[in-house]
Structure 1
Amino acid sequence: MPALVGACCALAGVAAQAACPPSAIGSLERSRSSSDQRSGADRGLLWRIEKDGRTSWLYGTIHLGRAPWLRPGPTVQRALGQSDALALEIDVRDPAAMKPLTQPADPALVARLLSGERAQRLARQNEIACVTPGANAALQPILQVTALTGLAGRADGLYPDFGIDEMLAVWARNANKPVFALENPAAQLEMLTGGSEEEEAAQIDSALDELESGQLRTQLKELADAWARGDLARLSRFPEWCDCMRTPAEQRLMKRLLDDRNPILAAGITRMHEGGQRVFAAVGALHMIGAQGLPTLLAAQGFTVSEVLPGERGTLPATAEEPEAEAAAAPPVRSARA
């Protein structure tokens, strides 16, 4: 289920209670003195992609983060400074675009999919996650569950509020760079549900299983740690260790969320680059792996693709047009985003 976290990050509504995991703001306050946060450190996966005499960038992200990760490292800052625009999977700060994820679901659909034992299981997980009762009750059923997946990592210091994509969006806007979406939330929602109630029910049950067993928390921590190390080899073996592709329904979901979306993402990046923009494309790190990964697809479309992180850490030259590093200051934190 880690691949679902991107869809949930704009939906988490968390109540502050004594028995709950620390809030994002509390986590940020505790890390204020961290030299890592002050200086920034290079993390993640970065490729230089070149075509037609222009250089763009492909950055593998995660949709959760820790407070010390709020400031980009020097190599990422320089690549951002040498770009004309930021491209994300979706822009969660665009209310019009996000409407399909936040508008009320059909009550009859909610009643059919979230009743009986399944409704009791969901209520229990909401209670454990300290979600205000009823806060997400109007959402599409699959989104009520995926909203919880983004909260499972808080005990390990991982928060949707500190998602790398969100940090980059704030950085770009502070630097007066436009932010573009490569996809739309309506298409992402259809990928989650598979276009059928039967498929949506199967995904709900699978997510609840992973939440109840603690498996999801383990997956998120392992994924975040591998990302922070820039461990492409470990990320490339994700299907082997995630224990998240056991059933046909889980396998279909992963195909929809990764392989089926990658050509769309690659086409959007190519379109922006060929339109004359030097684009910094920030997409979930799991979209970078395998024969259908974005580096491979972009190479097939004529780009020269070169690894920068972790291989060339800290080696990008500065340019006269590069903005001051202060533009990458930590973004404001909100306890709930919608």
Structure 2
Amino acid sequence: MHLLPFLPAARRRVSTLMVVLGAALMTWTLPAHAAPPAEARCPADLAPVPPAQVQAQVKDRGILWTLTRDGHTSYLHASLHLGRPAWAAPGPKLKAALDQVDAVALELDPLDTTAWTLPPTPALPIDAQLQKRLEAQARLACLPAQALASMHPLLQLSTLTLAQARALGLDVQYGQEVLLSRWARERQLPVIALETLQGQLSALLPEDPDEARHELRSGLRQLERPAELRRMLGDLVSTWERGDLRRLARYEDWCHCVQDARDRAALARENDGRNPNLADRISELHRQGQSLLVAVGALHMTGPKALPALLRQQGFEVTQVHPAPAK
């Protein structure tokens, strides 16, 4: 989610990077004198769930593997970059992993504000019609235009997608990366970034301006059909929550978001293209003797370069522990 990277244009590219950008923007509020437009779909603030209710709903979500090599064990968690307030406590197996590891490793650490200086991004000139459509979506989401204006148009698109997710009770504050970073700090565990901000930007923003504009148009078409987008997001969340890896692997068949060869190439760039480096980084950290809890977006666990498969090639014994594999 990489949501998750689960969205075409908007749907595919909500990576950790986009989630953190979105989290900052979601803190904006309208001035008291500024009423939203009548047609606005303003995302409601999500109230924290009382601790007793959180505890009543504690369970393991997503997918968890053990990674054994070099005489010790690490863990791999298929994460979701958005979540619900009721998910504010780890499930039993995830908690046990947190209690046993030396460090938590994430794509990027969303709580490390020192690492979030956004590097320059390539300019993407867009025509007046595309700009007008972006601005219309910002108004409908009650996001101030000035908060988006300096961002690359595809980053604006990701932020607007997050506003749609909020309408389903989903928020970046309760995504697995934010929660894991918080839980690690509570245990005084180091949080390690597997990637760099510049590296994610390079993977997520096409160098070819025509490709970038194609993704922008595709994403805007989805945003302009909010009911369809929300259905897909809800379906994705329920698929992840029950740990249905087989269905995630068939993502292209049901997301209605990979329509042509250009969409497939973009998905491969944003997902498969990053997996070998992620596997190398995990392998090196584990080789240094650290037991890790690694969390990476769930779509990275699927496809011809699925992260568990690449880690097996690196010599790990990879065993799924949640949900229990079907016999």
Structure-2-length-normalised TM-score: 0.87
Aligned CA distance change for structure 1 residues 37 and 156 (closer, same or farther; 3 Å): farther
What is the match of residue 23 of structure 1? 45
Contact 2:272 2:303 in 1 (8 A): no
Indicate the residue corresponding to 1:227 in structure 2: 240
C-alpha distance in 2 between matches for 1:186 and 1:22: 32
Distance 1:69 1:182 in 2: 24
Q: 1:146 aligns with which of 116, 137, 158?
A: 158
| Contact persistence 1:8–1:148 (CA under 8 A) | no
* Whole-angstrom distance in 1 between the partners of 2:76 and 2:225: 35
Separation in structure 2 between the aligned mates of residue 185 and residue 38 of structure 1, nearest angstrom = 37
Could you tell me how far 1:154 is from its partner in structure 2? 1.2
Within the alignment, does 1:172 sit opposite 2:215 as a pair? no
Corresponding residue number in structure 2 for 1:309 = 322
Q: Distance in 1 between matches of 2:303 and 2:152?
A: 31
C-alpha change, 1:33 and 1:169, in structure 2 (3 Å) is closer
User: 1:156 aligns to what SS in structure 2?
Assistant: coil
TM-align CA RMSD? 1.9
What pairs up with 1:182-261 in 2 under 5 angstroms?
Answer: 182-214=194-226, 215-261=228-274
Within-5 A mapping of 1:43-54: 43-54=61-72
1:329 counterpart residue number: none
Contact preservation (8 Å) 2:54, 2:88: no
Per-residue CA shift, 1:214-268, capped at 9, x if unaligned?
2332222111111111111211111111111103321111001111111111111
Which of the numbers 78, 83, 90 marks the counterpart of 1:60? 78
Q: Give 1:2-151 correspondences, 5 Å limit.
A: 2-6=11-15, 7-12=17-22, 13-14=25-26, 15-16=28-29, 20-24=42-46, 26=47, 28=48, 31-32=49-50, 35-37=53-55, 40-100=58-118, 109=123, 112-113=125-126, 115-151=127-163
2:275 counterpart of 1:265:
no
Q: Is the 8 A contact 1:89 1:181 kept in 2?
A: yes
Secondary structure at the aligned position of 1:5 is classed as coil
CA offset digits 1:151-188 (Å, max 9, x no partner): 21111111112111110001101111101111111111
8 Å CA contact retained: 1:87, 1:181: yes
Question: What is the TM-score normalised by the length of structure 1?
Answer: 0.84
Point out where structure 2 has 5 or more consecutive residues left out of the alignment: 1-6, 31-35
CA distance, structure 1, for counterparts of residue 98 and residue 220 of structure 2: 38
Query: More deviation in 239-248 or 269-278?
Result: 239-248
Deviation at 1:146, TM superposition (A): 1.3
Query: What pairs up with 1:281-300 in 2 under 5 angstroms?
Result: 281-300=294-313
In 2, Cα distance between equivalents of 1:125 and 1:41: 36
How many residues in Structure 1 have an aligned counterpart in Structure 2?
Answer: 302
What does residue 328 of structure 1 align with? none
